[in-house]
Amino acid sequence: MPPEVDAKIDGRFRNGRWVDDDKSYLVSFLWLDQDAGVSREVHVNFRGYPGRTTIPTCESTLSVKGRTIRKPIPCFSDPQPKKRRFGDVTATVYTANQGIDEWHVLYAWKQDGSLYTLSEHVTSPYSYSQVVKNLDRMTRGLVALEPNT
């Protein structure tokens, strides 16, 4: 089994951290193993959208009769009916996601006027149900940090 991906921003599993002009941010963690021609991956994203609670938009790119058509679409969709509850956090589970969260199960919740998401890629070595268990464990372990200004 893969090692537990830690949440150390400067740790060995860091995949990057980005802040956009609108102050939204992404912190990504990745473990990758390509032993004996079999690829296994654990990819986790944590995002924050300070001062915003709406689902962000991504760009869909389609090729129709040789023309490229771009259209804005929600970055996450297909909300599941059952919410996940963790203390003060009530997360909606999304299973059709775009951009860096494509092929991920994504938990989204609103807190103090901001939107937060946590997602994990569904791929070997973890099944969908194992990814949900991982996301449950990670969400239960979240700790709020004060911004460093």
Q: Tokens at residue 84, please? A: 């996940």
What pLDDT, on the 0 to 100 scale, is given for residue 62? Answer: 81
Please report which residue ranges of the chain form alpha helices under DSSP H: 128-140
Give the pLDDT confidence of 70-105 residue by residue, as tens digits. Answer: 999 999 999 999 999 999 999 999 999 999 999 999
What does residue 110 show for φ and ψ, rounded to 5 degrees? -110, 135
Q: List Cα–Cα distances, 70 to 42, 60, 99, 123, in angstroms.
A: 30, 5, 14, 28
Q: How confident is the model at residue 64 (pLDDT cuts 50, 70, 90)?
A: confident
Question: In 3D, which of 135, 108, 114, 107 has the Cα closest to residue 24?
Answer: 114
